[in-house]
Structure 1
Amino acid sequence: MIKQLPITLLLLLTLQITAQEKRKFLYASVHDEVASVPNAHIINLNTKQGTFTNDNGEFRILAKPNDSLQISFVGYEMKTLKVETIHFGIEKHKIELKKIAIELDEVEVKKHNLIGSIAIDTKQTPKDIGLDKAKSALDFSMIDFSEKVILEIDEVDRSKPPSMIRTTDPTASFAGAGTGFSSGLDKYAQQKKRTRKTIKFKESFPKMLLSEFGKHFFFEELKIPKDKYLHFLEYCNPLGIEKLYKDGNVLKLIEILRKESVSYLKTIHEKE
């Protein structure tokens, strides 16, 4: 009996360590000083799993104490949260992001000396400076898209925990080699490509919109404060302004921006 006692203690210690490392869902929400922040990106730096907030700024992600969560969204300072035991309480934890002050470059408008000849006039017409700057701002060289970080489906909408095989299995990149499973790998590559394309559009959309409609339209005609520009677009986003822009439905897009600017200005003034 004495010889078996150390083995029993070792088994109990092993079970205790395993239980401590088991991850469970952490529920939280992301917001700024005015409202919730939808489509914010959350990644567990320890497991490399990621998700997005829903329309109410809510999300859930597998974590355990001492994990680190990175929360980011365009126009806001990136935040890193160290997970603690209190984050798994009954009440949903709130995470606040701070806005980044943006300064818009001035664009000089010059008269065009056009003579009616396409061959000559195209050489004299200046390039769209705002559009060129928007394209140059899309630098993704620091992101390694080979890592399986972003999940295609928001974890808040799942009815069961996500599959851990795709994101943690070190042999997942070799799936289909010499077998009949190559179609699954191709499907995942297509999903990753679509996700990357969606992120690039969301990053460039505010600058593309400003380049096309101009600063006068947003800051003088609609009277949107410059530091609220990105937040105003997120306020209008549930009405499908990104899709309208993609489809070239400019008149409908302008109509929504004009109408929503009235209620938006009233909302932020009430907050103040």
Structure 2
Amino acid sequence: MKNFLLLLVLLSQVVFSQQERKTIFGIIYGPNGVLENAHIVNSYTHQATFSNKKGEYRIFAKPNDSIKFTSIGYKTISETLTKQDFNTYIKLVTLEKQDYKLDEVLIKNNELSGELAKDLKKVKIDLKQESITNATDFTEIDLKKKSTNDYTNTKVKPNIVSVDPTTAFEGVGTTIFIPFKDSKSSRKSPNN
């Protein structure tokens, strides 16, 4: 009896300590207005959604869940939700712009003038790429011109395959009859 009461008390503690997840509504802003297609993830449940054209989103969460807001070109924000976030009608989030630094780019001196016609003559030609380009160049083919050497023999009959589902199946020297439900049986009974 004591074990049963102890188990009942522990289960009631677990049930009351867990809170049900609710839908949280919000809008994501950037420096220039609302952000479309921002990615919102509940880090605890791994449920994710995107913001619509108006920057609005909905996601299931409960207090103490961590929500991550990301968008390309903006800094990622992670927020832990509080009870107050569920008391507000709309949760507003603003993402800041993030600049990306590229690695150093080295430009070789090719002595190009800037005139395309002259510079194309100075650039080295890749022989493999040139052969592929020539093999797939169909610009000199006149598709409107009829070919005179295309011969079709009209005396040969085409192979016609006839498929009739009501006929018997034939195999290597045997014939099998498959009766259908509504068809009359062609077999005679052994008594006749």
**Cα drift, residue 37 of structure 1:** 0.7
Residue aligning to 2:72: 74
Change (3 A) 1:76 1:2: closer
Give the letter aligned to residue 31 of structure 1: Y
Structural RMSD (CA): 3.3
Q: Give the secondary-structure state (helix, strand or coil) at the position aligned to 2:34.
A: coil
Quote the Cα distance in structure 1 between the aligned partners of 2:46 and 2:118: 58
Residue aligning to 2:33: 35
Q: Is the 8 A contact 1:46 1:67 kept in 2?
A: yes
**Larger fraction in strand:** 2
TM-score using structure 1 length: 0.37
Structure 1 residue 9 corresponds to structure 2 residue 9: yes
Change (3 A) 1:11 1:115: closer
Residue aligning to 1:62: 60
5+ long unaligned stretches in structure 2: 126-192
Quote the Cα distance in structure 1 between the aligned partners of 2:46 and 2:83: 20
Residue aligning to 1:95: 93
Q: Is the 8 A contact 1:114 1:121 kept in 2?
A: no
Change (3 A) 1:40 1:110: farther
Aligned length: 119
**Larger fraction in helix:** 1
**Cα drift, residue 34 of structure 1:** 3.2
Change (3 A) 1:53 1:13: same
**Cα drift, residue 14 of structure 1:** 2.8
Change (3 A) 1:95 1:115: closer
Change (3 A) 1:48 1:7: closer
Change (3 A) 1:110 1:65: farther
Q: Give the secondary-structure state (helix, strand or coil) at the position aligned to 2:9.
A: helix
Runs of 4 or more consecutive aligned structure 1 residues displaced over 6 Å after TM superposition = 103-106
Quote the Cα distance in structure 2 between the aligned partners of 1:5 and 1:44: 36
5+ long unaligned stretches in structure 1: 125-272
Between the two proteins, what is the percent identity of the paired residues?
Answer: 29
**Cα drift, residue 12 of structure 1:** 1.7
Change (3 A) 1:113 1:28: closer
Change (3 A) 1:8 1:99: same
Quote the Cα distance in structure 2 between the aligned partners of 1:39 and 1:113: 40
Quote the Cα distance in structure 1 between the aligned partners of 2:88 and 2:116: 68
Quote the Cα distance in structure 2 between the aligned partners of 1:110 and 1:93: 56
Quote the Cα distance in structure 2 between the aligned partners of 1:63 and 1:23: 5
Quote the Cα distance in structure 2 between the aligned partners of 1:110 and 1:29: 51
